[in-house]
């Protein structure tokens, strides 16, 4: 029973690792070279991201690189604020594998 519950928690966590595909000009250009960019949760690591890609998109990543995005101080319409920090992952796939992010 405990084993089944831990598997359910693992699947639940895997579904929450990838926040969204990052659709920018740079990400679109790199997707042509089998490199896909995703926003991920702050506490995710490379192993968890690799498992999430396998689970959700049914492809095997060759490697995963992670970049942290620092918080930034901004001024918008005369008011000070802070842009939230984050983390993004570059997922490298082998030739022939594709991920549909549209």
The pLDDT value recorded for residue 36 is 95
pLDDT of residue 41: 95
Provide the CATH topology of domain 2-93. Answer: Alpha-Beta Plaits (3.30.70)
- Tens of pLDDT, residue by residue, the chain (102 residues): 455 545 555 655 788 999 999 999 999 999 999 999 999 999 999 999 999 999 999 999 999 999 999 999 999 999 999 999 999 999 999 998 898 876
Q: What is the DSSP string of the chain?
A: -HHHHHHHHHHHHHHHHEEEE---HHHHHHHTTTEEEEEE-TT--HHHHHHHHHHHH---EEEEEEEEE--EEEEETTEEEEEPPEEEEEEEE-TT------
- Give residue 85's pLDDT: 95
């Amino acid at each position: 029973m405990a084993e089944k519950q831990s598997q359910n928690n693992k699947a639940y966590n895997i579904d929450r690792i990838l926040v969204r595909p990052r659709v920018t000009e740079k990400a679109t250009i790199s997707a042509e070279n089998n490199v896909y960019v995703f926003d991920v949760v702050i506490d995710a690591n490379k192993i968890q991201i690799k498992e999430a890609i396998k689970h959700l998109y049914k492809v095997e990543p060759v490697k995963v690189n992670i970049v942290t995005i620092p918080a930034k101080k901004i001024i918008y319409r005369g008011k000070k604020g802070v842009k939230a920090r984050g983390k993004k992952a570059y997922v490298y796939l082998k030739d022939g594998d594709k991920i549909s992010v549209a």
